[in-house]
Amino acid sequence: MQISSFSILVPDYEAGLAFFVDILGFDLVADIPQGRKRWVEVRAPGAALSLILARADGAQQEAMIGHQGGGRVWLFLETKDFARDHARLLAHGIVFEENPRTEPYGTVAVFRDPFGNRWDLIQKAS
C-alpha cells in the first residue's frame, strides 16, 4: 500500500485551481463533475502524490479551511532552485512569514497559501 493522494480544503474549486495550477504550476490531473461536487485532482510535475481539492461544504468545513495542520507547517514544497521559486512566489503575492534561512537539512522559509495553510518552501541540502 502507498498514499496516492490526500485532500485539502479550499473555499471553492476555482480558487484552489488558481493557486495550485496557476501559481505553483501543478498539473490538473482530473476535473470530474459529480453533481454538487467535483473530483479535482492536481499534482506537481513529476510527483507521484496528488492533492484532491475539496470544496468546503457547510460551516464546519468552511471553518477548517487553512487549519488542517492545526497551526503548524504541514505542507512541504521542495524545490531544486530556492531563490528562483521564492522570488516567483513573492511576485505572485505569496506572503512569507520569515526570511529564508539555512538549516542543516537545507534552505527553507515558511509561507501561507491564500487559504491560510502553512508551508515550507525548501531546498534540501545536498
What is the rounded distance in angstroms from the CA atom of residue 67 to the CA atom of residue 92? 22
Q: pTM here?
A: 0.94
DSSP, collapsed to helix, strand or coil, labels residue 104 as coil
- CATH class of domain segment(s) 69-126: alpha beta
What integer best gives the mean pLDDT of the chain? 97
Count of other CB atoms within 10 angstroms of residue 63: 11
Instruction: For domain 1-65, give the fold.
Output: 2,3-Dihydroxybiphenyl 1,2-Dioxygenase; domain 1 (3.10.180)
Q: 32 to each of 12, 15, 47, 60, how far by Cα in Å?
A: 15, 17, 21, 24
- pLDDT tens-digit map of 74-121: 999 999 999 999 999 999 999 999 999 999 999 999 999 999 999 999
| CA atoms within 13 A of residue 50's CA, in its CB half-sphere | 15
Nine cell digits for residue 124: 534540501
Q: What is the CA radius of gyration of the chain?
A: 15
